[in-house]
């Protein structure tokens, strides 16, 4: 029997858990949260699997969200978790998975990936942009720089550098100047800001509280929120100590603005940096659309540096209803989640 392409929902939960654990070391709790949260799924397609003799030999997942186009809500999705076992699957399995996934929604988006992903997705995508997403990072402690250096020079990892790892690279603000904007939970105000996020463009994501709350139910992540003056909000998170795929000290950030200025974003960024430093973070990373100039300017002013850029691909069933301009204000909360967790 040849390779069969079937909806992800058709396979047993434990089969997918085992497959992702083998392919990327994903904890079982993470896979169950990501794909089998029925309150979030609401019957929407979550991806496809390739089966050979009823065994999973490939998959391409989906993270659905709603996109507002000219005031009308449209179900769309980001891709994630693309794997094909080249030894067991047929040669066209990757293309078959991609075609099945992109036919599930009127618009499907993808970001990142290696050379094979870029070549295949670029060939089939309606829109491709090599540098659509900018990755920014700020190093807060010497530990992050020492880790990067040890990746290039492994012998450094054997030196007694524990004390040096905790040396701060940025200054803490005084208690008086540090606002109490960051908290260890998602406040209603932050949820409302995410849900009501609007941009100058008439095209924007429509994040409802259900989506954000699902994101924050991830059992492997610790979340914090930061909110300033009703104009800018941040979702700040880091892996739990026992998460196997990323260091607890490497924090992530997603930023949202309701027509806020660069000063509003800079204010929330300063709160985020101070909060992360006080809670032992070594670095903070954020993804930003290259078209979001105000956000990019604020990140530069706050001391973040560009570390790399990621490609973006859009697959449209109806190009007239989903123009490329729809990405001008799109937040990369989903892209973060799709590419890293």
Residue 289 lies in a domain: yes
Rounded to 10 degrees, the C-alpha dihedral 123/126/131/132 comes to: -150
Considering the domain architecture, whether residues 182 and 225 belong to the same structural domain is answered as: yes
CA distances from 213 to 37, 46, 63, 194 (A): 11, 18, 14, 11
Angle, CA 257 vertex, CA 256 and CA 260 arms, to 5°: 155
Considering the domain architecture, whether residues 190 and 274 belong to the same structural domain is answered as: yes
Considering the domain architecture, whether residues 274 and 143 belong to the same structural domain is answered as: yes
Considering the domain architecture, whether residues 20 and 140 belong to the same structural domain is answered as: no
Residue 334 lies in a domain: no
* Token pair of 85 as six digits: 């076992």
Considering the domain architecture, whether residues 81 and 174 belong to the same structural domain is answered as: no
Rounded to 10 degrees, the C-alpha dihedral 259/267/253/199 comes to: 0
Considering the domain architecture, whether residues 144 and 277 belong to the same structural domain is answered as: yes
Residue 210 lies in a domain: yes
Counting other chains too, the contacts that 165-168 makes at CB distance below 8 Å and 24 or more residues apart are 165/141, 165/282, 166/141, 166/142, 167/141, 167/142, 168/140, 168/141, 168/142, 168/277
Considering the domain architecture, whether residues 145 and 238 belong to the same structural domain is answered as: yes
Considering the domain architecture, whether residues 146 and 97 belong to the same structural domain is answered as: no
* pLDDT at site 114: 83
User: How far, in Å, CA of 18 to CA of 16, rounded?
Assistant: 5
Considering the domain architecture, whether residues 182 and 287 belong to the same structural domain is answered as: yes
Going residue by residue through the chain (341 aa), what tens digit of pLDDT does each one get?
678 999 999 999 999 999 999 988 888 998 999 999 999 999 999 999 999 989 999 999 998 887 766 667 778 888 989 898 888 887 789 999 999 999 999 888 888 888 888 888 889 998 888 888 888 999 998 766 666 665 566 765 655 566 566 676 676 665 545 555 566 566 565 566 555 554 444 445 555 567 777 887 888 888 877 766 567 778 888 888 777 666 678 898 887 776 667 888 888 898 889 889 888 889 999 888 777 788 889 999 999 999 988 888 889 887 655 555 555 444 545 455 555 44
Residue 181 lies in a domain: yes
Residue 244 lies in a domain: yes
Residue 121 lies in a domain: no
Sign of the CA dihedral with 12 first, then 18, 23, and 25 last = positive
Residue 160 lies in a domain: yes
Residues spanned by the domain of 259: 134-308
Phi-psi region for residue 43, left (φ > 0), alpha (ψ -120 to 50) or beta?
left
Considering the domain architecture, whether residues 179 and 92 belong to the same structural domain is answered as: no
* pLDDT at site 70: 67
The CATH number for 10's domain is 3.40.630.30
* Token pair of 155 as six digits: 């012998």
* pLDDT at site 45: 95
Residue with tokens 């891709």: 79
3-class DSSP assignment, residue 132: strand
Considering the domain architecture, whether residues 280 and 169 belong to the same structural domain is answered as: yes
Residue 283 lies in a domain: yes
Considering the domain architecture, whether residues 237 and 298 belong to the same structural domain is answered as: yes
Q: How many domains does the chain have?
A: 2
């Amino acid at each position: 029997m040849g390779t069969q392409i079937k909806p992800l929902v058709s396979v047993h939960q434990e089969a997918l858990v085992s497959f992702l654990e083998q392919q990327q070391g994903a904890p079982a709790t993470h896979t169950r949260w990501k794909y089998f949260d029925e309150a979030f799924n609401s019957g929407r397609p979550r991806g496809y699997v390739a089966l050979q003799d009823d065994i999973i030999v490939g998959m391409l997942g989906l993270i659905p969200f709603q996109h507002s186009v000219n005031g009308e809500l449209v179900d769309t999705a980001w891709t994630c978790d693309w794997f094909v076992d080249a030894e067991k699957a047929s040669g066209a399995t990757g293309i078959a998975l991609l075609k099945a996934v992109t036919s599930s929604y009127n618009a499907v988006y993808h970001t990142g990936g290696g050379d094979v992903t870029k070549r295949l997705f670029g060939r089939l995508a309606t829109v491709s942009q090599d540098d659509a997403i900018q990755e920014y990072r700020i190093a807060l402690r010497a530990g992050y720089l020492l880790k990067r250096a040890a990746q290039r020079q492994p012998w450094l990892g054997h030196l007694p550098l524990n004390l040096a790892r905790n040396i701060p690279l940025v200054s803490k603000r005084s208690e008086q100047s540090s606002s109490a904007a960051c908290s260890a939970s998602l406040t209603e105000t932050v949820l409302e800001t995410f849900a009501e996020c609007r941009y100058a463009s008439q095209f924007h994501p429509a994040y409802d509280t259900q989506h954000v709350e699902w994101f924050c139910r991830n059992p492997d992540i610790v979340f914090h929120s930061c909110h300033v003056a009703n104009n800018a909000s941040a979702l700040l998170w880091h892996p739990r100590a026992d998460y196997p795929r990323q260091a607890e000290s490497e924090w992530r950030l997603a930023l949202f603005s309701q027509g806020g200025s660069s000063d509003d974003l800079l204010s929330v960024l300063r709160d985020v940096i101070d909060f992360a430093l006080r809670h032992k973070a070594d670095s903070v990373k954020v993804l930003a659309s290259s078209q979001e100039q105000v956000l990019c300017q604020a990140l530069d002013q706050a001391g973040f540096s560009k570390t790399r850029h990621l490609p973006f691909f859009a697959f449209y069933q109806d190009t007239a209803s989903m123009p490329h301009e729809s990405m001008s204000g799109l937040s990369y909360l989903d892209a973060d989640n799709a590419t890293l967790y």
